Amino acid sequence: MDAKTVSDVWKKWLKQYCQLRLDNIPSAITTDELSEMISWVFIIPETEEIVDVILSIKVEGIIRAELSLFDFGESDIIINHPNEAAKLLVYIYNNCNKAVISKHQIREIANKIISNNVGGDLRERLEEMLA
């Protein structure tokens, strides 16, 4: 789908669906669903909105981060939305199985985000993650 079509889907029903899922309607979001939802960040043009939704999800388990980390490298979120990229990377890192993710990949993504003028608390959180 092209960006306009994806944006229309987000605005017409997907955003409302996500909001309902935050309220556990019809059921709570599973870690598998959350892992899939994270991939939406890289295709839905309303990056800030979808990141806000994802960050609102309380994780009850460990999310699969491998594909999301790959998507970071393939998308323009780091350049166009560095603050959202920082928030999302910290969220993913805090809620994934650190034994199966590439520390090198995390470091590479975090350094790219930092180099795109992320400052303040977000920069500190990324630097703590890298320590």
Question: Residue 111: pLDDT above 90?
Answer: yes
Give the count of alpha carbons within 13 A of 1, CB side only: 13
pTM (predicted TM-score): 0.91
Q: How many domains does the chain have?
A: 1
Q: What is the pLDDT of residues 48-88, one digit of tens each?
A: 999 999 999 988 888 888 878 888 878 899 999 999 999 99
Expressed as residue numbers, the domain containing 51 is 3-130
Using CA atoms, how far residue 69 sits from 24, 40, 59, 74, 91, in Å, is: 27, 13, 18, 9, 12
Question: Residue 45: pLDDT above 80?
Answer: yes
Residue type at position 2: D
